[in-house]
């Protein structure tokens, strides 16, 4: 089954806790603190797998959790890090954060993408030893891993998209010019999934063509198959619009042309701006009058009308040459840029609360939503640091610290960030 959209929840591993331990050795009277650090939690990583062509695997598994890091041990032994969890997706998959709608990654290259970072391991008590605190009996817990709900959307990587009403001959044309083998029959919607074919023009010259399942009027609103597959046209560099020149099913090719372009514009206005080549198919069935009317209309609209009879490959070479000529002057396939999730987005989640614990004058603050803000704060930038301080005030953390009796100069520890409290 062809599935090109899915929604999953991904949870990176939590960091292991730091250990509280003291050195024990024969003939050593009083060993110092030697608790080791916790291990890092496993990341959630997406990689491209060219053996996959759909997102069908995500229909049954909707939650992915990476292993947690192990806790630290005595003798300053760090805990083992959790293994990264690798999720394989087909090339061309867009990963989007559901709530904000921001694009996290476009899986179109061979580069892997860490979608959720594992939490850092907590420090063991050996990190907290000072001249005035020689036997710290506390350690730091590991940080939680990132957690996201993401949508996966497959947008096929094709140079050329074939458009047209059902039964105009798209599925007949693509196997004639490429090695694709779509289902061909004399009824509507024989093509139920997008079909990709590589058109080879000679050594080192080729392009990818996609046969998009038949569009009909209302496709942009979910009628027919078009609403499901219009997204696969969005990456195309150009479109080839195939018309039934003979109107063999009682339709008017001019009206078909206008209806399909209206659906493109309704779905995404940018699609209607893509370069198009118009091809009249079934010319063996069309009358001279029909051809003259269609050609005049396309000429008046600024299009050059190409003619072919796909089943016998008449005119198909001319169509391919025209496509190749146009592609040579067009930009490469569209790639989607990473969109940064604004820091303010995480502040909205501060209703989840926070927890403050105190050990030997160190005030530990824990709040998963605050960690997300901290990770995106540039502590070397004054304005960014000011924003983080405002969050601490607006969330009530500063007031809670003062209620717990914090004094000027006391240490505040927020995961891997520490600072001395100043009123």
Superfamily of domain 343-423: GTP-binding protein OBG, C-terminal domain (3.30.300.350)
Superfamily of domain 160-327: P-loop containing nucleotide triphosphate hydrolases (3.40.50.300)
Taking residues 340-363, what's their average pLDDT?
77
Does pTM top 0.75 for this prediction?
yes
Residue 222: predicted pLDDT: 45
Percent of the chain with pLDDT over 70: 90
Residue 2: predicted pLDDT: 55
Taking residues 35-58, what's their average pLDDT?
92
Asked if the model's pLDDT at residue 276 lies above 50, the reply is: yes
pLDDT class for 221, splitting at 50, 70, 90? very low
Task: For 297-326, write each residue's pLDDT tens digit.
Answer: 999 999 989 999 998 999 999 999 999 999
Taking residues 11-16, what's their average pLDDT?
95
For the chain, residues classed under CATH 3.30.300.350 are: 343-423
Asked if the model's pLDDT at residue 192 lies above 60, the reply is: no
Taking residues 68-96, what's their average pLDDT?
94
Please state, in angstroms and rounded to a whole number, the distance separating the CA atoms of residues 388 and 373: 8
For 186, the token pair is 């004399």
Over the chain, what is the mean pLDDT? 85
For the chain, residues classed under CATH 3.40.50.300 are: 160-327
Higher pLDDT, 359 or 80: 80
Lowest mean pLDDT among 144-153, 196-205, 234-243, 307-316: 196-205
Asked if the model's pLDDT at residue 328 lies above 60, the reply is: yes
Residue 183: predicted pLDDT: 45
**What are the residues facing 97 on neighbouring strands?**
150
Alpha helices in 343-404 (DSSP H): 343-347, 368-375, 382-394, 397-403
Taking residues 173-177, what's their average pLDDT?
89
Nearest by Cα to 232 from 175, 275, 193, 191? 193
Residue 393's φ and ψ, nearest 5 degrees, are -75, -50
Nearest by Cα to 87 from 31, 121, 47, 127? 47
Please state, in angstroms and rounded to a whole number, the distance separating the CA atoms of residues 124 and 137: 10
Superfamily of domain 1-155: GTP1/OBG domain (2.70.210.12)
For the chain, residues classed under CATH 2.70.210.12 are: 1-155
Taking residues 384-397, what's their average pLDDT?
86
Q: Which residues contact 238 (CB under 8 A, 6 or more apart)?
A: 159, 160, 161, 274, 275, 276, 277, 323, 326, 327, 330
- Kindly report the CA angle at 134 between 128 and 138, in degrees rounded to 5? 45
Task: For 116-127, write each residue's pLDDT tens digit.
Answer: 999 999 889 888
For 184, the token pair is 């061909």
Please state, in angstroms and rounded to a whole number, the distance separating the CA atoms of residues 266 and 275: 17
């Amino acid at each position: 089954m062809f599935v090109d959209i899915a929604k999953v929840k991904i949870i990176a591993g939590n960091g292991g806790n730091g250990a509280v331990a003291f050195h024990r050795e024969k003939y050593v009277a009083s060993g110092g603190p030697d608790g080791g650090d916790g291990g890092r939690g496993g990341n959630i990583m997406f990689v491209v797998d060219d053996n996959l062509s759909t997102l069908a695997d995500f229909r049954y598994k909707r939650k992915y959790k990476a292993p947690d890091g192990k806790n630290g041990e005595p003798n300053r032994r760090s805990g083992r890090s959790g293994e990264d969890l690798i999720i394989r997706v087909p090339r061309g998959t867009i990963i989007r954060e559901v709530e904000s709608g921001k694009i996290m990654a476009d899986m179109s290259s061979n580069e892997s993408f860490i979608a959720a970072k594992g939490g850092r391991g907590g420090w063991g008590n050996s990190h907290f030893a000072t001249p005035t605190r020689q036997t710290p009996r506390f350690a730091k817990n590991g940080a939680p891993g990132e957690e996201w709900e993401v949508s996966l959307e497959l947008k096929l990587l094709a140079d050329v998209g074939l458009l047209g009403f059902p039964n105009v001959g798209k599925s007949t044309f693509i196997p004639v010019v490429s090695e694709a083998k779509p289902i061909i029959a004399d009824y509507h919607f024989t093509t139920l999934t997008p079909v990709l074919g590589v058109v080879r023009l000679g050594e080192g010259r080729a392009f990818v063509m996609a046969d998009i399942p038949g569009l009909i009027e209302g496709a942009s609103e979910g009628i027919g198959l078009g609403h499901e597959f219009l997204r696969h046209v969005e990456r195309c560099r150009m479109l080839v619009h195939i018309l039934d020149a003979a109107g063999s099913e009682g339709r008017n090719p001019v009206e078909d042309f206008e209806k399909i372009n209206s659906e493109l514009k309704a779905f995404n206005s940018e699609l209607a701006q893509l370069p198009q080549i118009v091809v009249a198919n079934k010319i063996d069935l069309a009358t001279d009058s029909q051809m003259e009317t269609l050609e005049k209309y396309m000429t008046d609209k600024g299009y050059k009308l190409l003619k072919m009879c796909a089943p016998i490959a008449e005119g198909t070479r001319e169509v391919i040459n025209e496509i190749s000529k146009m592609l040579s002057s067009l930009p490469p396939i569209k790639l989607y840029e990473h969109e940064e999730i604004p820091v303010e987005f995480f502040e909205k989640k501060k209703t989840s609360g926070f927890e403050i614990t105190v050990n030997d004058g160190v005030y530990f603050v824990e709040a998963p939503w605050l960690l997300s803000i901290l990770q995106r704060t540039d502590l070397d930038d004054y304005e960014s640091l000011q924003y983080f301080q405002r969050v601490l005030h607006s969330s009530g953390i500063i007031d809670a610290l003062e209620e717990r009796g914090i004094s000027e100069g006391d240490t505040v520890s927020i995961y891997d960030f520490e600072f001395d409290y100043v009123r």
